[in-house]
């Protein structure tokens, strides 16, 4: 088989219209989700604080609670002021990262050869990796800051440890996205490699 023949055999078949619609829908869903997160970053932070609360509650004597409207986790019984709480601020959120991830993934559903359902699943998993990583980071900062003081310990876990961790985990979420796309989301199976005798 010559090289042009090989390429011709791998050329994608015309996409049937139901699949085109599905692709369009998947792309629109991703763009819409991205816009929603961008427009509601404060709400997203509230959800992050809410998700971190059960984890924080495991490590403080009298549990934790969330004030959803203020993106605050209150720690009870650890000696920290329960009035102040732990606020998930704009810098502590992965909202922008998630919105960008959603936006960047939308073309994959629209123009790539990936299965649209697979793209959605991969994006969901990648978003969840980022989200979960930030929940872990938030919880660690809240617990360590609450228990060991809001000066030295808080600074270290927030500005040093937390920052490095979130960069690593954000990268991991992109890796997970592509891993999932490449492992199960392809529409057209790649033919086996052939060695051309010379």
By CB under 8 A, name the binding residues for other proteins: 47, 50-55, 57, 63-69, 121-122, 124-125, 128-129, 131-132, 135, 176, 179-180, 183-184, 193, 195, 197-198
Residue 186 has phi, psi (to 5 degrees) of -80, 140
Smallest gap from Cβ 66 to other proteins, in A, equals 5
Q: H or E stretch including 3?
A: helix 3-10
CA distance 139 to 55: 6
Question: Minimum CB separation from other proteins for residue 150, in Å?
Answer: 22
- List, in sequence order, every residue forming a beta bridge with 57; answer none if it has no partner: none
Q: For residues 26 and 98, which CB has a smaller minimum distance to other proteins in the complex?
A: 98
Q: What are the structure tokens assigned to 95, written together? A: 């909202």
Which residue, 27 or 57, has its beta carbon nearer to other proteins?
A: 57
Of 11 and 83, nearer to other proteins (C-beta) is 83
Cα–Cα dist 151/157, whole Å: 10
Q: Which is nearer to other proteins, 65 or 153 (CB)?
A: 65
């Amino acid at each position: 088989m010559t090289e042009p023949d090989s390429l011709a055999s791998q050329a994608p078949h015309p996409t049937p219209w139901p699949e085109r619609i599905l692709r369009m829908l998947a792309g629109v869903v991703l763009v819409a989700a991205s816009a929603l997160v961008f427009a509601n970053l404060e709400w997203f932070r509230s959800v992050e604080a809410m998700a971190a609360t059960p984890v924080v509650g495991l490590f403080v004597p009298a549990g934790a609670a969330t004030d959803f409207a203020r993106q605050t986790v209150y720690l009870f019984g650890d000696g920290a002021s329960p009035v102040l709480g732990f606020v998930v601020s704009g810098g502590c959120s992965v909202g922008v990262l998630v919105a960008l991830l959603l936006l960047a993934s939308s073309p994959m559903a629209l123009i790539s050869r990936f299965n649209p359902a697979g793209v959605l699943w991969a994006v969901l998993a990648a978003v969840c990796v980022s989200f979960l990583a930030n929940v872990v980071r938030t919880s660690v900062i809240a617990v360590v800051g609450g228990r060991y003081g809001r000066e030295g310990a808080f600074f270290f876990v927030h500005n040093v440890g937390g920052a490095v961790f979130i960069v690593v985990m954000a990268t991991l979420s992109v890796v997970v996205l592509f891993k999932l796309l490449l492992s199960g989301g392809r529409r057209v199976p790649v033919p086996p490699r052939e060695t051309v005798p010379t």
